[in-house]
């Protein structure tokens, strides 16, 4: 997936589901459920148990066109192994070596940044879009403040984003939002109760805000 294609997918889908769990089978099933239920832009965090295998197994089920990424990518080696597992994009928590490495591998990268200096650094390293992280403490005011000097930067707030915050950030100009627990719950740990209802709520929100 090219960087322009990734930006188009973010702009269209509006919600990136973040899957992080301790049960690899449940995590794989959660990814498949999300994609097949219409939340088809999914990040599997490498901080979860056996995350690379989760990505590889989900890719095998979903096929080559699924928008399946690797998150919490910290190093050049992380980026390489994520690509080998079948990730079509990477997500970092900050401006790490993985940003330039992902770019060199031809993978779109959503690079974490919180301050103006970090935003500039992320773009200089080849970030496709900027993951505003952690977005929760600053709220939507932080996004509005950063969009002043960076009106053309595609921001994706992540961290502390529930349905209400998602709506507020999208209305304030975010390209998309990343959502973990408020969407996925404990499904990736083997407890899928309420997942279908949460998927429907965020899918409806994404459609409304598109």
52-104, pLDDT tens digit by residue?
Answer: 999 999 999 999 999 999 999 999 999 999 999 999 999 999 999 999 999 99
User: The domain spanning residue 56 has which CATH number?
Assistant: 3.20.20.70
The beta strand positions in 46-146, using DSSP E, are 67-71, 89-91, 109-113, 129-132
pLDDT of residue 24 exceeding 90, the answer is yes
Q: What is the pLDDT of residue 210?
A: 85
C-alpha distance from residue 187 to each of 48, 72, 80, 108, 146 (Å): 13, 19, 28, 27, 34
> Active-site residue among 60, 131, 200, 208?
131
Q: Is 60 a catalytic residue?
A: no
Residues in the chain: 210
Q: Of all helices (H) and strands (E), which one includes residue 16?
A: strand 15-19
Q: What is the pLDDT of residue 29?
A: 98
- Cβ atoms of 44 and 70 within 8 Å: the answer is yes
Q: Of all helices (H) and strands (E), which one includes residue 177?
A: strand 177-179
pLDDT of residue 49 exceeding 90, the answer is yes
> Active-site residue among 43, 60, 118, 208?
43
149-204, pLDDT tens digit by residue?
Answer: 999 999 999 999 999 999 999 999 999 999 999 999 999 999 999 999 999 999 99
What backbone torsions phi and psi does residue 110 show, to the nearest 5 degrees?
-100, 100
pLDDT of residue 9 exceeding 90, the answer is yes
Q: What is the pLDDT of residue 136?
A: 93
How many helices (H) and strands (E) are present in the chain, helices listed first? Answer: 10, 8
User: Whole domain around residue 87: which residue ranges?
Assistant: 3-209
pLDDT of residue 2 exceeding 90, the answer is no
- Cβ atoms of 183 and 199 within 8 Å: the answer is yes
Count of CB atoms within 10 A of residue 148's CB? 8
Number of structural domains found in the chain:
1
pLDDT of residue 14 exceeding 90, the answer is yes
Q: What is the pLDDT of residue 1?
A: 81
Mean pLDDT of all residues in 135-147: 96
pLDDT of residue 117 exceeding 90, the answer is yes
Q: Is 131 a catalytic residue?
A: yes
Q: If you ran DSSP here, which 8-state letter would residue 96 be given?
A: -
């Amino acid at each position: 997936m090219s960087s322009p294609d990734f930006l188009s997918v973010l702009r269209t889908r509006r919600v990136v589901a973040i899957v992080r769990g301790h049960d690899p089978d449940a995590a794989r099933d959660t990814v498949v459920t999300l994609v097949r239920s219409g939340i088809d832009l999914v990040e599997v965090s490498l901080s979860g148990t056996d995350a690379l295998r989760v990505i590889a197994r989900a890719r095998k089920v979903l096929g080559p066109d699924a928008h399946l990424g690797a998150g919490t990518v910290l190093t050049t080696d992380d980026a390489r192994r994520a690509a080998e597992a079948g990730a079509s994009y990477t997500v970092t928590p900050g401006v790490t070596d993985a940003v330039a490495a992902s770019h060199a591998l031809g993978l779109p990268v959503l690079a974490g940044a919180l301050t103006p200096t970090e935003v500039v650094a992320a773009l200089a390293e080849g970030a496709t879009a900027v993951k505003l992280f952690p977005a929760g403490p600053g709220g939507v005011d932080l996004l509005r403040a950063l969009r002043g000097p960076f009106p053309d930067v595609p921001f994706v707030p992540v961290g502390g984003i529930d349905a209400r915050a998602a709506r507020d950030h999208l209305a304030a100009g975010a390209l998309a939002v990343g959502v973990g627990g408020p969407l996925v719950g404990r499904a990736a740990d083997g407890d899928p109760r309420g997942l279908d209802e949460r998927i429907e709520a965020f899918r409806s929100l994404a459609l409304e805000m598109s």
